[in-house]
Amino acid sequence: MKIGVYPGSFDPFTIGHLEVLKSAAGLFDIVYVAVLNNTAKSPVFGVEERMEMIRRVIETEAFENVRAGSFNGLLVDYAQSIDAQYIIRGLRAITDFEYEFQIDAVNRHLKPEIRTVYFMATPAHSFLSSSSVREIGEWGGSIEGLVPHCNTDYIRERLARQK
């Protein structure tokens, strides 16, 4: 059984993340979308909130092999705890590559048997990040089409309150 873990801040989950998840769900038997529970990053959305939005996406997209989870500590330890042999990440630009290259080296140092696979962003989504969604939403701009439709109203209202 091929199990993958797609880790991230998902603050919030965007359609760029969804694109990666769709590809991964087609490739692996089970995919865990794992929200990083890291207070040092001071996320806008709480862990439970982020997981709830991911659960809504799973339900709306009728993904049968995708689960929502969360972790703190080392990703490779979490991956091992759920029997995942693969880490899934997305690549938008060269700047992502630098960062991912570094994380991969560390993860492989810790657990060489766990490998990372990468999906290139769809060109139309290569500009899209959670931070741009937060910024647009906090200033009252339209986030329509940037986040999964099932979460648009929730995120819009939540970010408007944030300001």
Contact between 90 and ligand ADP (CB under 6 A)? yes
Binding to ligand ADP in span 94-123, by CB under 6 A: 96, 121
Contact between 45 and ligand ADP (CB under 6 A)? no
| Residue 25 beta carbon to ligand ADP: minimum distance, rounded to whole angstroms | 14
Q: List all residues 6 or more positions away from 136 whose beta carbon is below 8 Å from its beta carbon.
A: 142, 143, 146
Hey, what amino acid is at 128? Answer: L
Residue of the chain from 5, 33, 84, 125 that contacts ligand ADP (CB under 6 A):
125
Contact between 35 and ligand ADP (CB under 6 A)? no
DSSP for 89-139?
Answer: EEE-SHHHHHHHHHHHHHHHHH-TTSEEEEEEPPGGGTT--HHHHHHHHHT
The residues carrying an active-site annotation are: 17, 41, 92, 130
- Phi and psi at residue 150, to the nearest 5°: -65, -15
Of the pair 20, 143, the CB lying nearest ligand ADP is at 20
Of the pair 4, 16, the CB lying nearest ligand ADP is at 16
| Residue 146 beta carbon to ligand ADP: minimum distance, rounded to whole angstroms | 9
Contact between 138 and ligand ADP (CB under 6 A)? no
CB 33 within 8 A of CB 70: no
Hey, what amino acid is at 96? Answer: D
- Phi and psi at residue 92, to the nearest 5°: -100, -45
Contact between 132 and ligand ADP (CB under 6 A)? no
Q: Using CB under 6 A as the criterion, which residues of the chain lie in contact with ligand ADP when the complex forms?
A: 8-10, 14, 16-17, 19-20, 89-90, 92, 96, 121, 125, 128-130
